[in-house]
Amino acid sequence: MDYQAVAKKVLERVGGKDNIISLVHCMTRLRFTLKDESIVDDELVKKTKGVMGIMKKSGQYQVIIGNEVGGVYKEICKLGNFQNDSKQQSNKSKEKQGIISTILDVISGCMAPVIPAIIGAAMIKVLLTVLPMMAILDDTSQTYQLISVIGDGAFFFMPVLIAMSAAKKFDTNPYYAVSLALIILHPNFINLMNGAKEAGEVVKFFNVVPVTYASYSYSVIPIILSVWALSYIERFVDKITPAITKNFLKPMLVVLFAAPIVMVVIGPLGSIFGDMLSKAIYFIHDKLGFIAIGLVAGIYPFVVMAGMHHAFTPIKLSMIATVGYEGFICISEFCTNMAQGAASLAVAVKSKNKDLKQTAASCAFSALVAGITEPALYGVTVRLKRPMIGACIGAAIGGLVGGFFQLKSFGVATPALVTIPQYIESARPMSLIYMLITAAVTIAATFVATYIIGFEDPIDEDEEEEIDNNSIKSPLNTGVKIDCPIEGVVVDLSEVNDKTFSTGILGQGVAIIPTKGEIVAPFDGTIDVFFETHHAIGLRSDEGVEALIHVGLETVNLQGKYFTPMAKVGDKIKKGDLLLTFDLEAIKNEGYDTVTPVIISNSDQFMEIVKTKNESITQLETILTVV
C-alpha cells in the first residue's frame, strides 16, 4: 500500500485538514473528529484505494483501513498537526442512546484501549497450553510458574488497566483512578476481606459501616463505576478546597472521600451489577442450549459493527475466573471470526478485480489466522453486502456444531486458528478434534454459501478514474437555471473563509451573506440530505443537478440551536417551497460567520457553472446557470 497516496486522498476527501478537529487510530481504523461531517462525500471516501469502509459513531468519522492503518496515520499526521484532545470534541453532537446502549457503550469504550494488553497476556496463556503438550516445558517447573505469572498479571490487575482508560472516558485524573484500583487490590485488603469471610465476620469502618465482601481481581465493572464516581468527587473537592491548600489538601480529600465510598458502596454494587449482566447473558444459553450459540454466532458481526463486542470481555473474564472456562460467547466469537475469514476467502477466489482479490485474501488471512476481523468485515463482507449473508449463515451453522459438541474456552485470546489450544480440555482429548471439526464446518459452509450467493464485483478505482478521464463529461441537461434560495449579498466562493468551500473541493458555486433567515427551494426536485443539526441541506433537481446549501461556517457546533426545519429528507420540493428558517441575529451573536455557500456538488458532470449575479439578490432570482 502507498501510505502517502492513501493519506493524501483520505485527507482531501474528509474535507481537508481545516475540517479536522482531532485524529487518532485504533487497530484498524482512522478515527476523525470533524468540524462538519455534512461536507464529506461518504461514497467518495469509500472508493478511495486502500479504504475498506467507513463508520459514523459517537461523534467520530471512522475510516477503516485495516492492518496497515498505522502507516496511513503517520502520513496523514505529516500533512497536518492533529491532536487527540477529548475536550476539543465536546462540541460534537452525540448520538441519543437508551440506558442499556449507554452502559454497554461505556463498558466497551473503557475496555477497547486495554485489549492489546489482554491479547498479549492471553497469547502467553495459550503458550502455556501448547508447550507442555509438545513436551517442551514441564508444567511443574519454575519456568512454567514464572511464565504463568507473566500471562496472568494483566488479568489479575485488570482494574488498574481499566482505571487508566476509564479516567480518560470520564475526564478525571488517571493517577487518582489507578490509586483506587491499587487500594482494592492491595494484599492487606484482600487478606482482611478473605479472613473475615472465612470467619463469618463483617469488616466495618469505625465499627459501624460494613464493608461488603467482593473479589476485585479480574473484575471490570466495579472500577468503571468507581472512576465514574471519582470524576464527581474530584470536581466537588476542587470547589470546596481553598486555593492556597489545593496542592496538598485536595489530593488527600479526593482519596479519603473516594476510597471508602468505593469499598463500602460502589465496589460491591459493581460486582452485583457484573453478576446480573452475566446471568442475563447466560439465561439465554440456559434456555436455548446449543441453539443459542448458533444464533449469537450468526448475529455477532452486527455486535462488532455496533462497537459493543468489547463489552462482553468482562463477562467472559468473570466466567473464566469463577468456573475456569467459558462455553457460550467465546465459541460464538470463534465461529464468527472463521466465517468472516472464509467469506473473504470466497471473494478472493471468485473476484476478477485484482485489488479486491488482494485485499480479500489479506483480510481472510487476518481473520482466520490472527482473529482480526474488522478488515474482513468492513473491507469485504459489509462493503459487498451479499458476502455478509454467507458469513452469517456459516457462523450460525458452525455455532450449532460447536454448541452441540459442548466446547469450552479456557482463555480470552482472540478467537483464531492459532489460538485453538485455549479450547482444549485437558480431561477431554477429543475436544481438539471437535474444535477442528467446528472450524472446518464453519469455513466450508461459509465459503460455499458466499460463493453461491455471489456479489457485485466492483470496478477498480484506478480503472474507474481512467474511464472518467477518457470520457466526455456531457452535461445532464444544458442550460439549467438555479434560483437563489436565500436573500442577501452575493460574493465569490473564493472569498469564503473556509478552504473546503473556497478551493472548490466540494464543487463550484457562489456564497451569499444572508439578510433574512429563510431558505427556499431553488428548483423542483428532492431533498437528499438534511443534516441532523439542520445547518446544511443537500438537494437534487429533477434534471439531476445536486446542490448543497450550507448556512454559516462551523455552525454544526450549534447542534441545531436557532435552526427550524420546515421539510425533511425524501420530500419532493417545488421551487419556492420553504425548507428552513433560522435566527440570523442569534447566530451572529454566538460569533459565527453566517456566509452561506450554495454549491453544485456534482459540478464535474457539467461543462461550466456560470454565476449570473454579483450584487444584492432576493429569493428566486437566478443565481447560477449550469451549462
Rounded Cα distance, 432 and 20, in Å: 50
CB 93 within 8 A of CB 59: yes
Q: How confident is the model at residue 228 (pLDDT cuts 50, 70, 90)?
A: very high
How is the chain split into domains, by residue range? 3-87, 157-282, 289-314+329-453, 480-626
Give the percent of the chain with pLDDT over 70: 88
Q: How confident is the model at residue 469 (pLDDT cuts 50, 70, 90)?
A: very low
Please write the tens of the pLDDT for every residue from 508-556: 889 999 999 999 999 999 998 887 788 889 899 988 888 999 999 888 8
Q: How confident is the model at residue 610 (pLDDT cuts 50, 70, 90)?
A: confident
304: its cell numbers: 462488532
Residues 6+ apart with CB under 8 A from 407: 327, 331, 423, 431, 434, 435, 438
Average confidence score pLDDT of the chain = 83
Over 70: is that where the pLDDT of 477 sits?
no
Over 70: is that where the pLDDT of 314 sits?
yes
Instruction: Return the higher-pLDDT residue of 504 and 258.
Output: 258
Instruction: Return the higher-pLDDT residue of 306 and 41.
Output: 41
For residue 259, what pLDDT is reported? 92
Q: How confident is the model at residue 90 (pLDDT cuts 50, 70, 90)?
A: very low
For residue 88, what pLDDT is reported? 44
Q: How confident is the model at residue 230 (pLDDT cuts 50, 70, 90)?
A: very high
CB 398 within 8 A of CB 415: no
Mean pLDDT over 159-171 rounds to 89
Q: What is the DSSP letter of 559?
A: T
Mean pLDDT over 311-321 rounds to 77
Rounded Cα distance, 541 and 556, in Å: 25
For residue 289, what pLDDT is reported? 86
Superfamily of domain 3-87: Glucose permease domain IIB (3.30.1360.60)
Q: Please report how the helices 174-184 and 246-261 are oriented relative to each other, as an axis angle in degrees rounded to 10.
A: 40
Instruction: Return the higher-pLDDT residue of 140 and 182.
Output: 182
Phi, psi of 595, rounded to the nearest 5 degrees: -55, 135
Over 70: is that where the pLDDT of 298 sits?
yes
114: its cell numbers: 486495554
**Backbone conformation region of residue 502, classed left if phi is above 0, alpha if psi is from -120 to 50, else beta:** alpha
Mean pLDDT over 251-278 rounds to 85
Phi, psi of 217, rounded to the nearest 5 degrees: -65, 145
Over 80: is that where the pLDDT of 584 sits?
yes
Q: Is 13 exposed, middle or buried (0-12, 13-18, 19+ CB in 10 A)?
A: buried
Amino acid at 380: V
For residue 579, what pLDDT is reported? 93
Nearest to 419 by CA among 372, 377, 376, 375: 372
Over 90: is that where the pLDDT of 447 sits?
yes
54: its cell numbers: 467507513
Q: How confident is the model at residue 320 (pLDDT cuts 50, 70, 90)?
A: confident
For residue 101, what pLDDT is reported? 60
By annotation, the residues acting in catalysis are 26
Q: How confident is the model at residue 476 (pLDDT cuts 50, 70, 90)?
A: very low
246-260 burial, b at 16+ Cβ within 10 Å, e below that, comes to eeeebbebbbebbbe
Q: How confident is the model at residue 574 (pLDDT cuts 50, 70, 90)?
A: very high
CB 220 within 8 A of CB 313: yes
Q: How confident is the model at residue 94 (pLDDT cuts 50, 70, 90)?
A: very low
Instruction: Return the higher-pLDDT residue of 255 and 627.
Output: 255
Rounded Cα distance, 534 and 473, in Å: 33
Q: How confident is the model at residue 89 (pLDDT cuts 50, 70, 90)?
A: very low
Rounded Cα distance, 214 and 354, in Å: 57
Please write the tens of the pLDDT for every residue from 335-388: 999 999 999 999 999 988 887 888 888 888 878 987 777 678 767 887 788 999
Q: How confident is the model at residue 613 (pLDDT cuts 50, 70, 90)?
A: low
For residue 362, what pLDDT is reported? 82
CB 590 within 8 A of CB 558: yes
Over 50: is that where the pLDDT of 92 sits?
no
For residue 404, what pLDDT is reported? 94
What is residue 557's three-state secondary structure? Answer: helix
Q: 480-626: what fold?
A: Glucose Permease (Domain IIA) (2.70.70)
**C-alpha distances in angstroms, 1 versus 6, 359, 591, 597?**
8, 10, 43, 36
422-436 burial, b at 16+ Cβ within 10 Å, e below that, comes to bbbbeeeeebeebbe
- Out of 161-165, 459-463, 538-542, 581-585, pick the least confident: 459-463
Residue with cell 489479575: 156
Torsion of CA 57, 58, 64, 67, to 10 degrees: -130
For residue 95, what pLDDT is reported? 45
